[in-house]
Amino acid sequence: MLKCAPTALDDTAKGNVAKICREILAPLVKIDGGEMYLVGIEGDDVHIHLTGACAGCPGSALTTDKIILPALRAAASKVRVTVTTGTRVPQGAERV
């Protein structure tokens, strides 16, 4: 069985992902008392970190599956999203 190598998001898709995080997702997270950080985009992998009220929240998995992932897939259909939570913000993460 052949496996296809993952395709990297182009600059336009990366910009769209960042824009959705900044203009749509971060305000939704903020309403719940959380903060959203874009840790990085490598290839087609997007890493987001949630802190504040979202740190350790059991609802973060639901937020990821039902809100974050569908919104980002609108910008890049093959995107893979990793969401972490906690009080410590990963080094190099950008608050959105």
Q: Give every CB contact of residue 8 below 8 A, 6+ residues apart in sequence.
A: 42, 43, 44
Contact criterion met (CB below 8 Å) for 50 and 21: no
The helix or strand, by DSSP H or E, that contains position 13, with its residue range, turns out to be: helix 11-20
Q: What is the number of domains present in the chain?
A: 1
In this prediction, residues 47-72 reach a mean pLDDT of 93
In a domain, 6, yes or no: no
75 — pLDDT class (breaks 50, 70, 90): confident
In a domain, 1, yes or no: no
C-alpha span between 28 and 53 (Å, rounded): 12
Q: What domain range is 31 assigned to?
A: 11-95
C-alpha span between 28 and 22 (Å, rounded): 10
Q: What are the pLDDT digits (tens) for 1-51?
A: 545 555 688 889 899 999 999 999 999 999 999 999 999 999 899 999 999
C-alpha span between 48 and 37 (Å, rounded): 6
